[in-house]
Structure 1
Amino acid sequence: MLIRRETPADIPAVQAVTAAAFAAPGAPAPVEVALLEELRTCDAWIPELSFVAVGDSGEVVGHVVCTRGHVDGAPAVGLGPLSVHPAHQRRGVGLALVHTVLGAADALGEPFVVLLGSPDYYGRFGFRRSTEHGIIPPDPAWGEYFQVRPLAAHDPALRGTFVYSEPFDRV
């Protein structure tokens, strides 16, 4: 498996992987597919933080992206969606994608990464409940599922409510 930056040629495969990863039996297309389409066309898209996992035969088997968000006007990033094709789940693809995007965000000088997800899964990457770092979720009902991973540029004085880019509100 190879992790690399996403290219424009990868977009159809990323859409297919995202659709497969979030598919529910009998449900319409997952909202994550529409969210990715909207994110790609807004100012919050950060190409340097969009990665694909490529399998041994050259096919895209996973994708992760971080997009621009803010805490009281200060820039930060939100992780997601993270997608791994069901045929490749539980093989370390998600692990490699998260490690890669965290390293890249750190190298770009981002203060921290936030996400909405399983504390059991993301805790192993150093994510903790956001309120432990003074970061308030956009929706208080998210509770322990809204998490923060501080990076090297983190300033503990940066506190407030995290605001995702506009497509997260619209989609």
Structure 2
Amino acid sequence: MDSFFIRSEIPADIPAIFEVNLQAFGQDGEARLVRALRNDGDYIHGLSLVAVHEDRIIGHILFVPVSIESDHAHVPAVALAPLSVCSEYQCQGVGSSLIEEGLRACRQLGHRIVIVVGHPSYYPRFGFTTAAVLGIKAPFPCQNEVFMACPLVPGALDGIHGTVRYPPAFDTEGAHAG
């Protein structure tokens, strides 16, 4: 599908972003998470992107600040959470375009590491690898192969290990909440 473009979220997009997340996931957990992250200030301007087709928002991606914490260091990173595409536009390159543009925006803003919980057959094409093999752990139970990290610059993950700390909304609204 070639007839869409990607841009940064604007305030008028907020209701449509909620609806895209609701429709894409078939429940409101991710939509509530995005709203809570925005309300809590755990939001990076320029890293909430929308895909637009004929004046309709058909996809959304959000990157939020996280850290990788060990006894010796707190390394800043961002988490891709969530990525949503309306069901009628899935498998048409919208999600891939959102990820590629999002990673480009992360690099441009100086971020070095991205964390994601996602499909192990989808995210490696964008440079993600299983975080556990790098010594990076999830703060919640999940299968190793779905918890991944991506270096945005060469060497960004060298010597990095610890547990990822997410913003509080992930504990109250996120997929691993309650």
For normalisation by structure 1, the TM-score amounts to 0.92
Question: How much does 1:140 deviate?
Answer: 4.5
Shift of 1:141: 3.2
- Give the ranges of 4+ consecutive aligned residues of structure 1 lying more than 4 Å apart after TM superposition: none
> Please, which runs of 5 or more residues in structure 2 have no aligned partner?
174-178
Residue aligned with 1:46, SS: coil
The equivalent of 2:57 in structure 1 is 60
Give ranges in structure 1 of 5+ residues lacking alignment. Answer: 24-28
Instruction: Please provide the CA RMSD for this pair.
Output: 1.3
Equivalent residues in 2 for 1:90-101, closer than 5 Å: 90-101=91-102
Question: Residue 45 of structure 1: which of 36, 40, 43 is its match?
Answer: 43
Q: Deviations over 1:119-161 (max 9, x none)?
A: 1011111111002222111124331100001111715122211
- Matched residues in 1 for 2:157 and 2:32: separation? 33
Work out whether 1:22 is the aligned partner of 2:39: no
**1:45, CA displacement in angstroms?**
0.8
Shift of residue 32, structure 1, vs aligned partner: 0.6
Q: Which has the higher helix share?
A: 1
8 Å contact kept, 2:113–2:157: no
Aligned 8 A contact 1:71 1:159 in 2 = yes
- Describe the superposition over 1:12-45 as per-residue Cα deviations: whole angstroms up to 9, x where unpaired: 111111110000xxxxx42111111100012321
* Partner deviation per Cα, 1:87-106 (whole Å, 9 max, x = no partner): 11111000000001111111
Amino acid at match of 2:10: T
Report the number of matched residues. 165
Identity %: 38
Q: Which amino acid aligns with 1:128?
A: T
Task: Supply the distance in 1 between the matched residues of 2:65 and 2:143 (Cα, whole angstroms).
Answer: 20
In structure 2, the residue matched to 1:4 is 7
Residue deviations 1:53-89 (CA, integer Å, cap 9, x gap): 001x111000000001111132111001101001111
TM-score relative to the length of structure 2:
0.88
